[in-house]
């Protein structure tokens, strides 16, 4: 009899969840009373944002982080990038009108808690802006 580690078991569960979400045409509903989130799972906002060296402030296409909080979703807080200006800056901090600042999106897996049965979750992807980048302005 082979005994699997906790990490291996969690990895298999996550893989099955991702597989079921990506291979289904609609959202997948998951009902279990065994879903437990450790108390220290969520980090403080300053810990989450500081890990990237404040790249959002140093970028030529700077952005700000806006937290979106829900007590009925995992993750409970999703930080979304908002481009600070329409145009990008050069290294001397002068705006370059021929370069537009646009958001970069990523589809993030979320679990939404059922309103009536709190042991049930619906797995789906949510499109989240994760940063901004410079692109050439569209010409007409």
Of the candidates 51, 47, 35, the residue with the CA atom closest to the CA atom of residue 111: 35
For the chain, give the mean pLDDT. Answer: 79
pLDDT at 68: 95
What confidence category does residue 3 fall into, taking pLDDT thresholds of 50, 70 and 90?
Answer: low
What's the pLDDT tens digit per position in 102-122? 999 999 999 998 888 878 888
Rg (CA), the chain: 20
Phi, psi of 106 (to 5 degrees): -140, 135
- Report domain extents, the chain: 26-33+42-136
CATH architecture of 26-33+42-136: Ribbon (2.10)
Tell me the residue length of the chain: 140
Between 42 and 38, the more confident residue is 38
pLDDT for 85 beyond 70 = yes
Q: What is the rounded distance in angstroms from the CA atom of residue 123 to the CA atom of residue 132?
A: 27
pLDDT for 51 beyond 50 = yes
Between 25 and 77, the more confident residue is 77
Q: Using CB atoms within 10 A of its CB, is residue 101 exposed (0-12), middle (13-18) or buried (19+)?
A: buried
**Helix ranges (DSSP H) in 1-140:** 6-22, 45-50, 55-58
Q: What is the rounded distance in angstroms from the CA atom of residue 61 to the CA atom of residue 30?
A: 39
Strands (DSSP E) along 1-140, which ranges?
A: 28-31, 63-69, 73-74, 77-83, 87-89, 95-113, 120-136
pLDDT at 117: 84
- List CB contacts of 113: < 8 A, sequence separation 6 or more: 72, 73, 74, 120, 121
Of the candidates 12, 2, 17, the residue with the CA atom closest to the CA atom of residue 121: 17
Query: Is the whole model's pTM more than 0.75, yes or no?
Result: no
What confidence category does residue 1 fall into, taking pLDDT thresholds of 50, 70 and 90?
Answer: very low
What confidence category does residue 52 fall into, taking pLDDT thresholds of 50, 70 and 90?
Answer: low
């Amino acid at each position: 009899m082979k005994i699997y580690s906790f990490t291996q078991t969690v990895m298999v569960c996550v893989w099955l969840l991702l597989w079921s979400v990506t291979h289904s045409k609609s959202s997948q509903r998951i009902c279990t009373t065994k879903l437990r989130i450790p108390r220290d799972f969520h980090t403080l906002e300053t810990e989450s944002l500081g890990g990237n060296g404040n790249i959002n402030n140093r970028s030529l296409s700077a952005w700000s982080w806006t937290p979106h909080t829900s007590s009925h979703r995992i993750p409970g807080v999703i930080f979304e990038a908002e481009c600070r200006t329409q145009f990008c800056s050069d290294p001397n901090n002068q705006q370059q009108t021929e370069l537009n600042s646009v958001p970069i999106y990523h589809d993030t897996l979320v679990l939404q808690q059922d309103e009536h049965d709190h042991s049930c979750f619906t797995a789906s992807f949510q499109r989240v802006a994760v940063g901004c980048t410079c692109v050439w302005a569209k010409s007409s």
